[in-house]
Amino acid sequence: MSGTGKVVAITGASSGIGAATAVELAGRGASVVLGARRTDRLDSLVERIRAAGGRAEALATDVRRRADLEALVARAVDRFGRMDVLVSNAGVARVSALAELDVDGWDAMIDVNLRGVLAGIAAALPVFRRQGRGHFVTTVSTAGLKIVPTQAVYAGTKNAVRTLLEALRQESTDGALRTTSVSPGYVRTELTGAAGVDLAIDPGAVARAIAFAIEQPDDVEIGDITTRPTRQG
């Protein structure tokens, strides 16, 4: 099945890469089910997509709660009859040196960036297995490719997710599942640090990369994509 007509659930969909991905995929004919904590932004995004002729639903979703991920997947299946893709995009970035001991920040990143992805896998995997087809697309980061000071825990959570997806890929070589890790560099989102503001790229660039991976034939897997500014070191 091509990207047109697929049913895609997206976490962290209220802004940035998540919102751009929702608009991009809906414009290509996908039905999108949007999850985030900021429901006012979700509702506005759904209205925008529907006004352009797209199909969209929204549900308040906190990826730290397993029940919320289960409800998001259930909404996709109930509304559209199936779910083809889960885009796990919700993320938290707390930048600080380890010596600053921002333990609360570490916990937040582990809970959202790592446990949130695991909760999404737990919610979607039974549906994908039942359907005989499914695709996990997860936003990781170039922070996991080039380790720099002050990003240790953030990069650690992203690399942990990269490892999870690769393990899932190797456990699922029957052709039913696909996994894609998308590593954005500096992107103009609410997570962009001050150092990256001047060179950051539009989130639509990442959305187009996600669409490219999703639209491949079912027997083709795009395992890793890195999308970053040409001027990023």
Mean pLDDT of 18-46: 96
Q: Which residues pair with 178 in a beta bridge?
A: 135
pTM of the model: 0.93
Residue holding tokens 């027997």? 219
Cβ pair 215, 29 in contact under 8 A: no
Percent of the chain with pLDDT over 70: 95
Q: What pLDDT is stored for residue 197 in this prediction?
A: 64
Catalytic residue among 80, 128, 154, 186: 154
* Residue 154 appears among annotated catalytic residues: yes
Top-level CATH class of 7-227?
alpha beta
Q: Does the pLDDT of residue 1 top 50, yes or no?
A: no
Give the span between the Cα atoms of 142 and 85, in whole angstroms.
23
The DSSP letter of residue 18 is: H
Give whole-number Cα distances, 192 to 4, 11, 145, 229, in Å.
31, 18, 17, 13
| Interval 149-205: pLDDT, tens | 999 999 999 999 999 999 999 999 998 999 999 999 999 877 655 455 678 899 999
Write the burial class of residue 187 (CB in 10 Å: 0-12 exposed, 13-18 middle, 19+ buried): buried
Mean pLDDT of 11-31: 96
Please provide the average confidence, as pLDDT, over all residues in the chain.
Answer: 93
Residue holding tokens 């936003």? 139
Write the burial class of residue 30 (CB in 10 Å: 0-12 exposed, 13-18 middle, 19+ buried): buried
| Interval 88-122: pLDDT, tens | 999 999 999 999 999 999 999 999 999 999 999 99
Mean pLDDT of 13-18: 95
The H or E element spanning position 151 is none
Q: Which residues pair with 41 in a beta bridge?
A: none
Give whole-number Cα distances, 169 to 21, 35, 56, 164, 221, in Å.
23, 25, 29, 9, 10
